[in-house]
Amino acid sequence: MENNEIKQVLMDALALAEVHVSGDGSHFQVIAVGELFATMSRVKKQQTIYAPLMEYIADNRIHALSIKAYTPQEWQRDRKLNGF
């Protein structure tokens, strides 16, 4: 699976301002930014990102997924730490 495919799935499924995906074919890192995360726990944020990707995880197109989810305000503060 390609990085841009994961980005598109997430952008289509969720109300996100930004999505950044990096990875090597089966191991991916996702940074998702959106207001929808404002009231969510860390676990709920992870579940929200996993949900639209479950089909790809189930058929092993995605083997490992690292997720960071931010509100736009959190991303504004932390993006320098992530190299953006």
Write out pLDDT tens, residues 50-61: 999 999 999 999
In the structure encoding, which two tokens stand for residue 14, read together?
Answer: 């969720």
| pTM of the predicted protein model | 0.91
Q: How far is CA 51 from CA 33, 40, 55, 73, 84, in A?
A: 16, 15, 9, 24, 26
Residue 51 sits in a domain whose CATH number is 3.30.300.90
The answer to whether residue 78 is domain-embedded is no
19-55 tens-digit pLDDT: 999 998 889 999 999 999 999 999 999 999 999 999 9
The answer to whether residue 80 is domain-embedded is no
The answer to whether residue 30 is domain-embedded is yes
> H-helix or E-strand containing 21?
strand 18-23
Q: Number of folded domains in the chain?
A: 1
Q: How confident is the model at residue 79 (pLDDT cuts 50, 70, 90)?
A: confident
Residue 68 phi, psi (nearest 5): -125, 125
d(CA 10, CA 6) in angstroms, rounded, equals: 6
